[in-house]
Every structure is written in C-alpha cells, then in structure tokens.
Structure 1
Amino acid sequence: MKILYALQGTGNGHLARAQKMLPILENYGELDVFVSGSNSQLSLDDFNFSHHKGLSLFYNQMGKVSYKRILRENSFKSFWNEVKQFPIEKYDVIINDFEPITAHAARKKKKEIIGLSHQASLLFDETPKVKNKAGETIIKYYAPTSSNYGFHFEEYNDSIFLPIIRDKIRALNPKQQDFNLVYLPSYHPNEIIEKLSAIKEANWKVFSPFASESFKQFNVEVYPVDERLFIKSLENCTGVLCGAGFELPAESLFLNKKLFVIPIKGQYEQLCNCEALKRIGVDYSLDLEIDKIQKWVDSSKLVLRDFPDQSEEIIDYIFHHHSLID
C-alpha cells in the first residue's frame, strides 16, 4: 500500500504533530511525506520528505495577518502548476493535514483524500467558532478533502479527537521555574519587549523568528527559535504566553502550565481557537494588553487537561473506517 501524508508547513503545529504520526503510518505501507508552505522552524527528525513552496501566511510584525505580503510572496501561478503536475494517482491512501497542493490535485483527479487536521475540526457545527464568512470559506476550500477528521481541545464530535502530544513533550518532567515562556511569532521582539518589560516582577524568555541571536533587555531574554532550547524552556517555565494556535496551547495544557493566548488578528483559525480556550477557562486578550497579562501573572489559576495518547487508535480507526485494511 502506497501512502501519502501531506502537511502544511506554515507554522510549527503541523510538523510537531507529524513527528508523532509518521512512525505510526510507516507501519501501514510505503510512506511518502509532502510538505508545502514556509515559516516553520521544526524538523521531521529522520524522515525524508519533499518540500514545496505552496501557499503561506505572512504577518506584519504587529500581531496581524499581512495580506500585502501574502499576495506579494505567494505565486498562485506556480501553485496551480504544482497542483497539475503532482502525481496523485500513484497513491492508494492520501492523508492530508491542511496541505493545499495535494488536496486540489486529488480533487481534480477525483481521488479520495482524508483530511486529518486541526482545521478540519472547524468544519463541524459543534466546534466553537466566531462568525466570519471569509474565514469559513478559506477553511472549506483551501485544502478540500473527501472526508474529515479533526483535532481540538475537546471532543465536540465523534470525528474530532483530542490533541496529539508528541513523544518529546510526553517525556518531559515539568518544573515551575521563575520565568514565563513567550512565543508570539507575528510580533517583532521590540514590540514584545516594550510591553512585557513593564511587568517588572516577571521574567520572560521570548523565542522569535525575527531574532538572529540571543540578547537580553531589562527582564526579557530573546532567543532565535531553536527546538531543543524551546522544549527545555517549555519544560521549566511557570507560564506560557503565546498565539492561539493549536499545538503549543495543547502542549502547555498537557504540561499543566499557566496559559495566556493572543490570537493573530485577522487569522480565523486562531480566533476560533481563542473562543474554545476561553470556554474552558484559559486567559486571553486580543492584543498585547498589559493590564490583562499583569492579572494573569498575578494569578495562580491553572486549567488542567489530560490528553491521553490515542494516536495509534486514531490511525487504526481511520484505516478500518475507510476499509483500507481488513
């Protein structure tokens, strides 16, 4: 059986999940891995994969989606050429984590394609969402699939599973040291330092894709994104201040870290995630609002969630449900 696992490379969450899923999928047949999009700093360890430019989101360094950069730095002509040229017909099973090239190639050739992503959870009525027609349209048509299975913070539907927590995170021994971890990749470090340095009683370790070297200013340390150092800091921090993506908030909840999220402005998925996290008691703001972050720093409130390892059961369920194995 020839299997294609295609995933989105914009951001780190998809690759973090793939680190857990790929060894399982290898047990079911000959596996090819396809990644499109940029802006990720994670690796896929020892797995070989092909990487294509695809379509990526870009931000304006002030916490907002930059539509000018999206139009300027994406080539839609190249994207559709890749769709036409992709040899989708050679695969028996296609599993897609919100990757648009293989999704549109499969749709064009009328091949069955299984969506297995966090974004897929937003296609179900039961999932917490904000009203945004443009965002709903993007989720539906960006990487269209024949059937959908999603991941979310709660199992809102029978086809929605709890988050996949990679082994590197499950193996940690979390501690509560005197600093908070910050990952807000849509903000420039200068903007973060200006705001967080005002909360003088707290120490901050900021990981930023805009930093080329480490430095410290006031009570804020800034580091380039490095997976090993990031995971070590996640293990030892008291709290996590991050965007309202999916994997990092899920990993933070799993490690019993105090969590505060700021969704990227104009990013529909993150606004929906923020709504879901708000409903389970996670603190949030819609910008770098110091008064709200100060209250979070002063608070000892924890939102506790247990995410058992169901990854093998999920893949087995999907393969049996689609009659891909006996």
Structure 2
Amino acid sequence: MRILYGVQATGNGHITRARVLLPALQAAGAEVDMLFSGRDQARLFNMEPFGDYAHREGLTFVTDAGRVQRWQTLTHNRPLQLVKDIRALDLNGYDLVLTDFEPVTAWAARRSGVPSVGIAHQYAFLHRIPGTGFMPWLKPCIRFFAPADEMIGLHWHAFNAPILPPMIEPVQGTLSEDETKVLVYLPFEALDEIIYWLSGFSDFRFRVYAGVDQPRRIGNIELCPFSREGFQQDLYSCRGVIANAGFGLCSEAIQAGKSLLVKPLRGQVEQISNAAVLEQMGLAWVMPRFGQEPIERWLELPSGAPMPWPDVAGTLARWITTGRQVPLDNLARELWHPRPDMSVSPA
C-alpha cells in the first residue's frame, strides 16, 4: 500500500503525531511519502525521521503577542500559490492520501479522486465539543480547509462521538520530578513578556524553549533552542508545564502526569475550546492572560498521576492497511474502553 501523508506544520503537535503514526504505518507494511506545509522549511527541526520529505507553502496563521492577527493572516497567505501546488501535486501510484489537517494533499486527493482519510485534533470539532459555543461557521470551515472522505478527530474525551484518544508516543524514559524545574513552551507569546512574568519566581527554575540560537541564562530563566530530545527530557523530569493550549503538548503532559498551566491563544477557537475542556476535566489550570497571581497559585498545586494513552497509532495503522473495514464507532469504543469517564458539559 502506497500512502502520501500530508502534515500541517504550523504547530508542532501535528508533527508530533506524524512521528508516531509514520513508523506504525511502515511496520504495518505501508510505503509512505511525507509532505509538510504551513511553516518555512528552514524553521522545521529534528526532521530526520521523515526522510526525504516534500515541502509546500500551504496555509498558516500569523500571531503576535499571544493573539491571532486576522488581517496579517489574510495578507500573509497566498491562495493562488496554494491552488498551483494542489494542481501540480501528482498522486499517480498512491492508494491513499492521509492528511493531518494539511490542505495541499487533502485538496489534491479530492481533485484526483484518490481515497483520503483525515486524522487530526481539528476534526473532533465536527462534533459537539465544549468551548465552541454558537459557531455555525466552524464545521464548514474545517471541512473546507482540509477535506477528506473520512475525517477522524482526536481529543481527551469521546464526547459521545466517534472521536479517538490522543495519538502520542509512549513515555520513552523514566519519569521523575524536580520540584524547582518548570518547562515552558509559549511559541505564540512575546519572549520579553515571558521573561518578565517568570523572573519574579526566584525559587523556581524555568526552562523556556524558544527561537534562540544558543542556550542562555537570565536569572532563574534558561532559554533553550528548539530540540525534540532535550524537550522530552525536560518534560519527563519537570514538576509542571506552562504552555499555550495546543493539543499535542498538553496530551504529552497529561500522559506524563505533569501539572499544566495553559494560556490559550486569543482568537484561536481550537485553543479556547481546549482550555475549556482541560479546565472542566480538571487536567489544567487556565490563565487567559499573564499575571503573577495565576502563576503563583498554580505553582502551589501538586502534580497529577501519569495517564498513559492507548496505542492509537498502531490501531489506526492496522485499520488503514487492512482496508478500513471496522466502523469508526467500534474503533473508538475499543480505544476508550480502559479509560475512566470524566464529566464534561456539551458545547
């Protein structure tokens, strides 16, 4: 079976899923080619596991100071280039297109009549998810952005829908807890503001991963260049994580039993909803804006217990390579069965 796998690279969560699903598909006997879009290729890092991957411009959103900038997003993206890339993508010889909310491969499959499957957190919003409120435009936008014949959503709860658990790599090491060490990943925030708010907590050591060329220390704050391996080591050994409300990192922190403080990206529906779900499930403390009080109160909280997610990647890889014959409802029930139920309110 030959698969073209498209990944939206605006955030690292999509790439994190691909790091898990790609080897599972290969182990199941599939031949997989990768395509990434949504971020300048020069800004991608630790991409060796994906081999000789393809890259396209795709679509992305522009942020500034913790908020989506709608006008800049509209003017930054180039829809004519997107159309050209879709038309130019040759899908001859492919049996299936997988899209993790990646528009070039999704629309090329639709245009060429190649079967397609979408696997992404965003597809969960095709169902009733807390925190989305009255947004009649949301579902059509998701379907239009990266359409697929079958769209599979991932989330921290099933919400009485055929939604699957997070697709996360199992913990690859020993979990520990340094009481003074806090991992920080806030890529959509101004670095100066992060330093300002964290510098007042001198009893703690903050490991901040950001777009810096070399490690450097500013008081109790350690600035670290992006590194998948270093980041994972810090995740496994820290007392807690401060992050935006992206799906991938929050899923990893929950699995490792780390205390979470999330600052949802303003103007981004997915992160606003994620924060609402995390708060309702008791999995995170939510900080809508920077402030000393929420950080101080969160630092007093204990860590939780590790919550390993099931083998979603292996299950999906077998399901895909054997013809997708099992109904998605059955697949969801199988994967969620061992998990304890948690009460959440509908959208």
Contact 2:319 2:325 survives alignment (8 Å) = no
TM-superposed CA distance for 1:140, in Å, is 2.8
Question: Where does 1:53-68 land on structure 2 (aligned, <5 Å)?
Answer: 53-60=57-64, 62-68=65-71
* Equivalent residue number for residue 153 of structure 2: 150
Contact 1:84 1:105 survives alignment (8 Å) = yes
TM-superposed CA distance for 1:205, in Å, is 1.0
Query: CA offsets per residue over residues 28-53 of structure 1, 9 Å max, x none?
Result: 33221111111654425253311111
Query: CA offsets per residue over residues 43-85 of structure 1, 9 Å max, x none?
Result: 252533111111122211x111123442343221111111111
* Equivalent residue number for residue 263 of structure 1: 264
Question: Where does 1:111-150 land on structure 2 (aligned, <5 Å)?
Answer: 111-125=114-128, 127-131=129-133, 132-133=135-136, 135-150=138-153
Query: CA offsets per residue over residues 194-243 of structure 1, 9 Å max, x none?
Result: 1111233322111112x232222222111121222211111211100001
Contact 2:4 2:34 survives alignment (8 Å) = yes
TM-superposed CA distance for 1:128, in Å, is 2.4
2:18 is aligned with what amino acid?
A: A
Question: Where does 1:70-81 land on structure 2 (aligned, <5 Å)?
Answer: 70-81=73-84
Query: CA offsets per residue over residues 244-281 of structure 1, 9 Å max, x none?
Result: 00111111111111111111111111111111111111
Question: Where does 1:1-326 land on structure 2 (aligned, <5 Å)?
Answer: 1-26=1-26, 27-38=28-39, 40-45=44-49, 47-60=51-64, 62-125=65-128, 127-131=129-133, 132-133=135-136, 135-157=138-160, 159-167=162-170, 170-177=171-178, 178-209=180-211, 211-281=212-282, 282-300=284-302, 302=304, 305-320=307-322, 322-323=324-325
Distance in 2 separating the partners of 1:290 and 1:303: 26
Shift of the 46–4 alpha-carbon distance from structure 1 to 2, 3 Å rule, reads closer
Aligned residues: 319
Shift of the 134–267 alpha-carbon distance from structure 1 to 2, 3 Å rule, reads farther
Classify the secondary structure of the residue corresponding to 1:80: helix
1:291 is aligned with what amino acid?
A: E
TM-superposed CA distance for 1:134, in Å, is 5.1
Contact 1:12 1:42 survives alignment (8 Å) = no
2:130 is aligned with what amino acid?
A: P
Distance in 1 separating the partners of 2:138 and 2:287: 20
Contact 1:128 1:276 survives alignment (8 Å) = yes
TM-superposed CA distance for 1:290, in Å, is 2.3
- For structure 1, which segment, 145-154 or 253-262, has the greater mean C-alpha deviation from structure 2 after superposition? 145-154
Bigger relative CO (Cα 8 Å, ≥ 6 apart) = 2
Identical aligned residues as a percent: 29
Query: CA offsets per residue over residues 268-325 of structure 1, 9 Å max, x none?
Result: 111111111111112111122321111000122526533122321222234446349x
Classify the secondary structure of the residue corresponding to 2:241: strand
Distance in 2 separating the partners of 1:320 and 1:30: 14
Shift of the 42–264 alpha-carbon distance from structure 1 to 2, 3 Å rule, reads farther
- Consecutive aligned runs of 4 or more in structure 1 exceeding 6 Å deviation: none
1:255 is aligned with what amino acid?
A: A
Distance in 2 separating the partners of 1:266 and 1:219: 31
Query: CA offsets per residue over residues 74-100 of structure 1, 9 Å max, x none?
Result: 221111111111123532111111000
Distance in 2 separating the partners of 1:275 and 1:42: 32
Classify the secondary structure of the residue corresponding to 1:160: coil
Distance in 2 separating the partners of 1:176 and 1:134: 43
2:55 is aligned with what amino acid?
A: H
Distance in 2 separating the partners of 1:41 and 1:55: 19
Classify the secondary structure of the residue corresponding to 1:88: coil
Contact 1:88 1:102 survives alignment (8 Å) = no
- Give the TM-score taking structure 2 as reference length: 0.85
1:75 is aligned with what amino acid?
A: R
C-alpha RMSD of matched pairs (Å): 2.1
